[in-house]
Structure formats: structure tokens, C-alpha cells
Structure 1
Amino acid sequence: MDIKVYGNDVEKALKSLKRQLQKEGLFKEIKQRSFYEKPSVKEKRKKREAAKKRVKALRFK
């Protein structure tokens, strides 16, 4: 990941960095890893996320 700072505008670069991290799902992953998740719960969450992703993909086709 590469964020460029133009004209000493650090706030804009920081905002861009946060937006990019949010888009990649880093904050979500950190939140999930902060607590132990049982394997059964993890599997259910992954299935739920996959179904959500499929529905979203169908909507945009």
C-alpha cells in the first residue's frame, strides 16, 4: 500500500490511508482477532459472509 502526501497535507493523506484500510477490511479483522472465536461460530460467520458476498455479486451483474 502506498499513500502519497502532496503539499504537506498530512490530514488528507491520513484520511486516504484510513479509507483504504477500511476498504481492505483490516479494522474488521483486528476486531475479530481480539477475542477468541469458537470454530463453529467462525464457520457460521464465514458462510454468512460468503452468502452476503454472492448476493451482492448477483446484484451488480
Structure 2
Amino acid sequence: MHVLVRDNNVDQALRVLKKKMQREGVFREMKARRSYEKPSERRNREAAEAVRRARKAARKQAVREGLIAAPKKKEMVRRPSAPGMAGPSESKAT
């Protein structure tokens, strides 16, 4: 896995790395490997995951076909910026 560090901005590179690791499932696998999982528990978990995936796929298909209403989209909540930090819509008075 490669992450480019631009303008010596290590913090941004770390954020990008964490996001990539999250997408790849590295954190989930690390958590799973912390303790031993019995084969029967693993089968049960994988079967439950398969059921969840199948239900999600069926739900998406039903929404596409118009059989059920699409879920309401969550509204983005804008947090006020910290004092002294000018955002894109704010301008600093000099």
C-alpha cells in the first residue's frame, strides 16, 4: 500500500493511509485476530454476514424497481468552525 506525502504534510498522509486501511478491512482483521474464534462460531458469523449481504442486496434491488420507498437521506450538519479559522464561506477581516 502506497501513500504519497505532499509538501511534507504527514498528517494528511496518515489520514489517507487510515482511510485506505479501513477500506481494505485491515482494522477488522486485526480485531478478529486478537482472540481465537472457534470454527463453529466462524461458520455462524459468516452465515449471518451472508444473510445481511443478501438482505441488503434485495432491499437495494427493491428500491431500484420501485417496490419500496428509498430510505430518507441523512441531512449533513455543519459544525461551526473554530475561532480564527476562516472557512470557504467566511473571510478573515484584516
TM, length-normalised to structure 1: 0.83
Structure 1 unaligned residues grouped into runs of 5+: none
How many residue pairs match? The answer is 60
Give the structure with higher Rg (CA). 2
- CA distance in 1 between counterparts of 2:57 and 2:34 reads 29
In the TM superposition, what whole-angstrom CA distance separates every residue of 1:24-49 from its partner, at most 9, and x where no partner exists? 11111111111011111100111111
The runs of 4+ residues in structure 1 deviating greater than 4 Å are none
How far 1:53 sits from its partner (Å)?
A: 2.4
Q: CA RMSD in A?
A: 1.5
TM, length-normalised to structure 2: 0.57
Map 1:1-61 onto structure 2 (within 5 A): 1-58=1-58, 59=60
Identity percentage over the alignment?
42
- CA distance in 1 between counterparts of 2:46 and 2:5 reads 37
More helix by share: 1
Higher relative contact order, structure no. (Cα contacts within 8 Å, ≥ 6 residues apart): 1
Structure 2 unaligned residues grouped into runs of 5+: 62-94
